[in-house]
């Protein structure tokens, strides 16, 4: 009888089926967020640095990394989606798209220099050589902006 009552409540109000928003991100969730932002930055810079006037040869390296690290990148994406679904149950897909768009536009509009492209190429080469651990180490540089965007769960 209790199970039937719970089922009736869930059918009456589907929002009850979602996890309750915490209004914060755990440290693990914040780590995933800054890794995703670093991945977006690397991807955008790899595309832009590969074009004139830089011609840094970064796009081919990024594509190899993306191909070899697909599983790790998918785990991060799935974890992030669960966090956003918890925090924004009705609109999490559009919220993720809005954040991704904000991040992409930031790095597409970023004024690049030769030094940016040289540094991006070095990072990509390091990740290609050392694997996902190098990616996670480099992504920690983006921690401060995540801490400004999301409150840490206590």
Q: Is 2 domain-assigned?
A: no
CA angle 130, 135, 136 (to 5 degrees): 120
Give me the number of domains the chain comprises: 1
Q: State how far the Cα of 132 lies from the Cα of 129, in Å rounded to an integer.
A: 9
Cα 115 to the chain's mean position, in Å? 24
Structure tokens at 71: 């599983």
Q: Is 110 domain-assigned?
A: yes
Predicted pLDDT of residue 62: 98
Q: Is 18 domain-assigned?
A: no
User: 5-14 b/e with 16+ CB inside 10 Å = b?
Assistant: eeeeeeeeee
Q: Rounded mean pLDDT of 145-152?
A: 81
Q: For residue 61, give the nearest of 115, 107, 126 by alpha carbon.
A: 126
Q: Is 90 domain-assigned?
A: yes
Q: Is 1 domain-assigned?
A: no
Q: Is 46 domain-assigned?
A: yes
Q: Is 13 domain-assigned?
A: no
Q: What share of the chain is helix, strand, coil (3-state, %, to 5)?
A: 80, 0, 20
Structure tokens at 19: 């996890």
pLDDT over 70 at 101, yes or no: yes
Predicted pLDDT of residue 60: 98
Residue 149 banded pLDDT, cuts 50, 70, 90:
confident
Q: Rounded mean pLDDT of 146-154?
A: 83
Residue 146 banded pLDDT, cuts 50, 70, 90:
confident
Predicted pLDDT of residue 19: 60
Task: Return the H-helix or E-strand segment holding 128.
Answer: helix 114-130
Q: Rounded mean pLDDT of 140-145?
A: 78
What range does the domain containing 122 cover? 28-148
Q: Calculate helix-pair angle for 92-109, 27-49, nearest 10 degrees.
A: 40
Q: Is 44 domain-assigned?
A: yes
Q: For residue 96, give the nearest of 111, 120, 79 by alpha carbon.
A: 79
Q: For 10-69, what is each residue's pLDDT tens digit?
A: 444 444 444 678 888 999 999 999 999 999 999 999 999 999 999 999 999 999 999 999
């Amino acid at each position: 009888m209790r199970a039937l009552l719970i089922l009736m409540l869930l059918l009456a109000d589907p929002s009850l089926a979602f996890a309750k928003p915490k209004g914060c991100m755990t440290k693990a969730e914040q780590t995933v967020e800054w890794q995703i932002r670093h991945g977006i930055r690397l991807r955008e810079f790899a595309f832009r640095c590969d074009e004139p006037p830089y011609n840094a040869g970064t796009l081919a390296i990024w594509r190899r990394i993306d191909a070899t690290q697909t599983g790790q990148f998918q785990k991060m994406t799935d974890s992030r989606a669960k966090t956003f679904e918890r925090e924004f149950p009705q609109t999490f897909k559009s919220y993720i798209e809005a954040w991704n768009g904000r991040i992409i536009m930031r790095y597409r509009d970023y004024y690049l220099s030769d030094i940016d492209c040289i540094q991006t190429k070095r990072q990509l080469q390091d990740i290609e050589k050392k694997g996902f651990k190098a990616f996670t180490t480099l992504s920690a540089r983006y921690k401060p902006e995540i801490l400004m965007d999301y409150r840490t769960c206590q």
